[in-house]
Each structure stands twice: as C-alpha cells, then as structure tokens.
Amino acid sequence: MVSPFVARRGIDILADIMQYMEPAASRTLLKNLQASVPAVAGELRKRLFSFEDLAFGDARGLQKLLKTTTLRDLALALKGAGENVLQRLAENMSQRAIEDLREEITHLGPRRAGEIEEARRRITATARQLMEKRELFIQKGRPDDRLVD
C-alpha cells in the first residue's frame, strides 16, 4: 500500500510534468485518468494551473505579472483566450497599456497555435513563480468565491 504522502507527491510530480505537455495531450491524459482513476484525476485538476486561471488572480499579483511579461507574449497569449481572462487582465492595466496591447494584437495577425501556447507557457511559468513566492494568488471556485480587490 502506498502512503498518502507518497501518493500526494506522485500527483504533484505528475501535475508539474503536465504543465509542460501539449494541451491536447494533457486533456487526453486527464480524460483517461478520469475514466480509470477518478480520484487521481480530481486531485490533478486541483493542482494544474492554466493561462485561463489568471481570470481568478488577485489584482496586485496580476499587476506584478503584467510588469514582467512582454507585450508581445501577452498579445500572443490573449489570441483566442477566454473573455474572462482578457477582462481580468485589462482591469489591471492602464488605459495606455490596453491601447498598446490592442495595437500589438492587430499587428501580430494570425499565428500558429504552437506559438500562442508557448507564450502562454512562459506567462504561466512566471505566474507559478509568483505564486510560489506568494506574490500572486489564484482563487478558483464558485463565482461568489472570487477575490474582490
């Protein structure tokens, strides 16, 4: 029998690995785990962090993240992103920065999905570092559990 500590550590390691997998492969793995080991799939979902989760970030942490993110990466990452993440990030940007971002998105034109995913990976890697330093907080859950600034 595997101890609970070892099992948790294994899930943590798998979650870390999955952060760097192609999104489609990660979704397939989660789907297969859900079918065979639902408890593990549930624990993994709790630990995984995606670009879309930035919609649940605290204002101060998001501002710090935005300061360390290049305009190009942000513009790439927001292509095809959900409206909620775009809105939350815009809430934490100056009007001038929003205008610059819109201009950059327009100039980028169509891009390969891989290029967009790579920009998102860079941003989420920085977000994870900020989270580890407790400088960014992501509060996922019910809509009424969202952080209010």
Task: Give dist(CA 81, CA 114) in Å, integer.
Answer: 14
For the stretch 74-107, pLDDT in tens is 999 999 999 999 999 999 999 999 999 999 999 9
**Residue 48 CB coordination number (10 Å):** 15
**Residue 147 — pLDDT band, cuts 50, 70, 90?**
low
Residue 138: strand pairing partners: 57
**What is the pLDDT, as a whole number, of residue 26?**
83
Q: What is the CA radius of gyration of the chain?
A: 17
Flag whether pLDDT at 133 surpasses 80. Answer: yes
Is the backbone of residue 14 left (phi > 0), alpha (psi -120 to 50) or beta? alpha
**What is the pLDDT, as a whole number, of residue 15?**
85
Query: Would you say 98 and 141 are in contact if contact means Cβ atoms under 8 Å apart?
Result: no
pTM over 0.75: no
